[in-house]
Amino acid sequence: MKTIASLDFEVVDIAAVPTLFDHIRTIDPPPNQAKRLATLVSDLGLDVNSVISVLWAPDAWDDLDELRRRSVIAADAAAAVEAKSWIVEAGVWRPSETRTVAIERFKRTIAMQYGVASERSLRLVVEAPHGGTLAEDYDGMVEILGAAADVGAEVGLDVDLRPALTCGVPTVQILDVYFDVLAHIAVADAVSSGAGFVKLGDGEVDVRAAVNALMEKGYDGDLMLELELGDRLVDERITLIEHDRNYLRNLVAEASVL
């Protein structure tokens, strides 16, 4: 996070994803985790757009009490750092069960998380579409958002441009239909084969079209670079981050004068 601040970024996302991105640890949290994270963010002069969490992994599929415990930890951290939103996954589906069973589990989980978010005045947001969830494609995304509404959970939408590439409809259609509930945009490029990191402009994601569509509709939120850079060395990471930041800045500048 210190490196990101040194590169003149002003807004960051923070993640609670076990074994991958554990800025926030929800399984075995250290003492005073939320307070220490809030102090770090403040000392670095950063604002937090969202806390992104995947809470069922690896072992809490059906354990609503454990999911609640982890949800409270993530939500407390989101509140402590004054995040604009708390992002949760769009449910999981075991190969051995019916989709109906999985949807009902999602309803129980999202209702609980909406309650946790509301108690802390947080905006609850669902990431969709996304592979490995109940919202892998556009139809699944529509179903999940409908399921949340069925249990009274008023949720925003987080659109990651990478999985949107293969969801079955143009990304600009998602941005248009769901513009009123858009809460978070993760910007990255990709190829449909899913092979590794791709710099903005080198893949198949039409980032320019997405940015133009957002600007045309008056989007005034953050555009968050979400770059999974693997085990690259620090200098290479910085080069790639700066490339994508400058690429995105240029697209926004161009769209602003159209």
Provide the Cα torsion 71, 228, 170, 191; round to 10°: -140
Which of 154, 166, 86 lies closest to 130, judged by CA? 166
Alpha helices, DSSP H, located in 91-223: 99-119, 138-150, 161-164, 171-177, 207-216
pLDDT at 258: 58
pLDDT at 41: 96
pTM reported for the whole predicted model? 0.96
Question: Among residues of the chain, what percentage have pLDDT more than 90?
Answer: 86
Identity (one letter) of the amino acid at 129? P
Tokens linked to 187: 């910007």
Mean pLDDT over residues 85-112, rounded?
A: 95
- What confidence tens digit (pLDDT) does each residue in 192-228 have? 877 678 999 999 999 999 999 999 999 999 999 998 8
Mean pLDDT over each residue of the chain, to the nearest integer: 94
pLDDT at 240: 94
- What confidence tens digit (pLDDT) does each residue in 33-73 have? 999 999 999 999 999 999 999 999 999 989 999 999 999 99
Which of 135, 137, 140, 187 lies closest to 160, judged by CA? 187
pLDDT at 193: 78
Residue 80 to residue 37: CA distance in whole angstroms: 8
Mean pLDDT over residues 241-256, rounded?
A: 94
pLDDT of 95 > 90? The answer is: no
Q: What is the largest CA-CA distance in the chain?
A: 52
- What confidence tens digit (pLDDT) does each residue in 174-191 have? 999 999 999 999 999 999
Q: How many CB atoms lie within 10 A of CB 180?
A: 8
pLDDT at 257: 61
> How is domain 2-256 classified at the architecture level of CATH?
Alpha-Beta Barrel (3.20)
pLDDT band at 22 (very low <50, low <70, confident <90, very high): confident
